[in-house]
Amino acid sequence: MELSLSPFFVFVYFFLSLIFIQLLIRVVAKPKSQTIELERPCRAPSPWKLPVIGHLHHLALGGGVPHRTLHDLARRHGPLLHLRLGEVDHYVVSSPELAREVLTTHDLAFASRPALAASTVMCYGNTDIAFSPYGPYWRQLRKICVVELLSAKRVRGFAALREEEIARALRGISSSASRVNLSERVYALAYAITSRAAFGAECRHLGRFEAAAKKAIKAGSGFAVADLFPSLGFLGALTGTSAGIERTHRELDGIIEEIIGEHEEKRERAKKKGEECGYDIPEPPHRVCVQDVFIAGTDTTATTLAWAMSELLRHPDAMAKAQSELRRSLRGGGGAELRDEDVASLRYTKLVVKETLRLHPPLPLLLPRLAREPRRVGGHEIPAGSRVLVSAWAIGRDARRWGDDAEAFRPERFDEEGEGEGEGEGEKWMGFEHLAFGAGRRMCPGMGFGMASVEAALASLLCFFDWELPEGTEAGDLDMGELVGAVVGRRSDLWAVAIPYRPI
Ligand code: HEM
């Protein structure tokens, strides 16, 4: 018959024969294959992959920023996604339940970091807090940093300098043209608070530091060619990334050296006069903490402030609600500035910060973890040596937890959580549904410091100014595009019109 000879039927015949042969082999070899089945690790689901590059094309074809592409893939394949990116196995965790397993149940097994190409050069061979492998050295370094700078007591002690720096930033905004580059202003403010807290004085170098830190953050995304093909070192040289990393490292290193030099000179002068002046910066390798604190402290704080103001400009009702609460508290205190005590008693402004961090966690994939030992997560095997990315971004949008309006900016949701379900607001905010600061041993040690700066700065910006979008920009048109990097900030600077508010 004509039909049976057509190429289509030949293909189908061949294909079915293959399936039949495979089934036959399975049936004949059943007892043996069953034992193998039990021993074989149960791999997490993956999309289709290509030779050599593995699943890399999914990231490339996703077209967007990595956390969004990974979220799309997780929606199709499940909350534990296995991706072979180049030579490296990655596991992407996108549900609060699995995040709890990785960050708490198996915390110790996942408490290390991979050595990225950028961190190895820029963090002095990964001897800093953020990238150092888990162990006694990292514990000691982190302890110094927490005791000297980040403990709750130290953070409270920085209240006066926070207030001074915020007042200075407000004066700057008042005296400038009404159209303000808010991204620039909040970065300068975060830098001033960090440098005064760390060194007792504002450090110069803001412009140079910002430019170099942004390059370092971009290089540290973990998705650079050199990070995905570690055995092919020449690729870094070929693509120019290695040279770029070296250049950025030299810039940052030079700035940190200058900051430390200035601080030490100042200390010497103060000592001669018998005055107190900040504290000793411990000798290397602890100096690497200085860079960590500057980059981690400044960029995350400024990024959160810029996203919060962006969302409020797009949601004038939420902005008005925050302002009315703030201005009531100002009249109550009768002062022309907000003190730390005033900020502590705010409710709505704090909800705005939580909602901002839910939708725009500055580190959407936290910092990468390295599996030190094999572990089963959600019933799937994660082999030792794999990289584990916990998507705080996806978890913050999980409709099972946050409802059908999970994508919407609605600060009130945190108020509602506290009632009815028997689950406290605090639990939801710092639970595994909201992971902006990570969790477990490697959780952000600067949370108290960062939150104090963000809440105080946002409260003052809203209290003392009315804000509008520049003429010609509608709320719906505001660019909310994101940068690629370890910290994900706004793609474009945020411009707004500041109208000073006079208390009645
Ligand atoms: C809004 C502000 C901030 C956010 C959202 C934030 C978020 C994070 C996240 C997600 C991590 C990774 C956690 C993990 O892997 O589980 C981290 C680590 C870290 N953060 Fe923050 N951070 C903020 C502010 C700060 C500040 C102000 C400092 C210091 C002054 C700081 C210092 C660090 C350090 C040193 C690490 C590395 C910790 C380690 O590996 O042991 N952060 N941060």
Tell how far the Cα of 128 is from the centroid of ligand 1, in angstroms: 13
- CA-454 nearest atom, ligand 1: 1
Lowest mean pLDDT among 131-140, 144-153, 350-359: 144-153
User: CB of 445 closer than 6 A to ligand 1?
Assistant: yes
Read off the pLDDT band of 27 (50, 70, 90): low
pLDDT at 331: 59
Tell how far the Cα of 438 is from the centroid of ligand 1, in angstroms: 8
CA distance 364 to 420: 30
Cis upstream peptide for 285 (omega within 30°): yes
Give residue for tokens 């609060």.
96
pLDDT at 10: 41
Tell how far the Cα of 141 is from the centroid of ligand 1, in angstroms: 14
pLDDT digits (tens, 9 = 90+) for 273-317: 776 555 554 455 566 788 888 888 899 999 999 999 999 999 999
**3-state DSSP assignment of residue 334:** coil
User: CB of 446 closer than 6 A to ligand 1?
Assistant: yes
- CA-292 nearest atom, ligand 1: 35
- CA-304 nearest atom, ligand 1: 1
User: CB of 56 closer than 6 A to ligand 1?
Assistant: no
Partners of 375 in the β-ladder = 382
- CA-441 nearest atom, ligand 1: 41
**3-state DSSP assignment of residue 181:** strand
User: CB of 389 closer than 6 A to ligand 1?
Assistant: no
Give residue for tokens 């950028």.
118
Instruction: Taking residues 247-266, report their average pLDDT.
Output: 86
Read off the pLDDT band of 394 (50, 70, 90): very high
CA distance 432 to 496: 34
The mean pLDDT of the chain is: 86
Tell how far the Cα of 202 is from the centroid of ligand 1, in angstroms: 22
The residue with greater pLDDT, 165 or 284, is: 165
Query: Which residue's CA lies nearest to atom 21 of ligand 1?
Result: 444
User: CB of 363 closer than 6 A to ligand 1?
Assistant: yes
pLDDT at 62: 76
Tell how far the Cα of 252 is from the centroid of ligand 1, in angstroms: 19
Task: Looking at 29-157, list the stretches that DSSP marks H as alpha helix, in order from N- to C-terminal side.
Answer: 30-39, 56-62, 66-77, 96-100, 117-122, 136-145, 152-157
Are 411 and 110 spatial neighbours (Cβ–Cβ below 8 Å)?
Answer: no
pLDDT at 354: 96
What residue type is assigned to position 109 of the chain?
A: A
CA distance 346 to 186: 21
pLDDT at 387: 98
The residue with greater pLDDT, 42 or 333, is: 42
pLDDT at 6: 54
- CA-449 nearest atom, ligand 1: 27
Distance of alpha carbon 351 from its chain centroid, rounded? 19
pLDDT digits (tens, 9 = 90+) for 431-489: 788 999 999 999 999 999 999 999 999 999 999 999 999 998 898 899 999 998 889 99
Q: Which helix (H) or strand (E) holds 388?
A: strand 387-390
Tell how far the Cα of 447 is from the centroid of ligand 1, in angstroms: 7
pLDDT at 289: 80
Partners of 390 in the β-ladder = 93
Residue from 147, 129, 55 nearest 438 by CA = 129
Are 256 and 282 spatial neighbours (Cβ–Cβ below 8 Å)?
Answer: no
- Is 444 marked as binding a ligand? yes
Residue among 134, 217, 299, 437 to mutate when testing ligand 1 (max atoms within 8 A of CB): 437
Lowest mean pLDDT among 20-29, 102-111, 345-354, 383-392: 20-29
Most confident of 30-39, 154-163, 205-214: 154-163
Instruction: Taking residues 183-203, report their average pLDDT.
Output: 88
Read off the pLDDT band of 219 (50, 70, 90): very high
Give residue for tokens 């990289």.
387
What residue type is assigned to position 378 of the chain?
A: G
Are 442 and 367 spatial neighbours (Cβ–Cβ below 8 Å)?
Answer: yes
Query: Which residue's CA lies nearest to atom 31 of ligand 1?
Result: 446
Most confident of 128-142, 204-218, 231-245, 278-292: 128-142
What are the domain boundaries of the chain? Answer: 131-359+409-500
CATH class of 131-359+409-500: mainly alpha
Query: Which residue's CA lies nearest to atom 6 of ligand 1?
Result: 437
User: CB of 180 closer than 6 A to ligand 1?
Assistant: no
Lowest mean pLDDT among 130-139, 163-172, 423-432: 423-432
Read off the pLDDT band of 167 (50, 70, 90): very high
Quote the DSSP letter at residue 112.
B
**Count of C-beta atoms within a 10 Å radius of residue 10:** 11
Q: Which helix (H) or strand (E) holds 195?
A: helix 182-199
Record the pTM: 0.88
Q: At what angle do helices 7-28 and 30-39 cross, to 10 degrees?
A: 80
For residue 85, pLDDT beyond 80 = yes
The residue with greater pLDDT, 263 or 482, is: 482
Read off the pLDDT band of 5 (50, 70, 90): very low
User: CB of 449 closer than 6 A to ligand 1?
Assistant: yes
User: CB of 92 closer than 6 A to ligand 1?
Assistant: no
User: CB of 450 closer than 6 A to ligand 1?
Assistant: yes
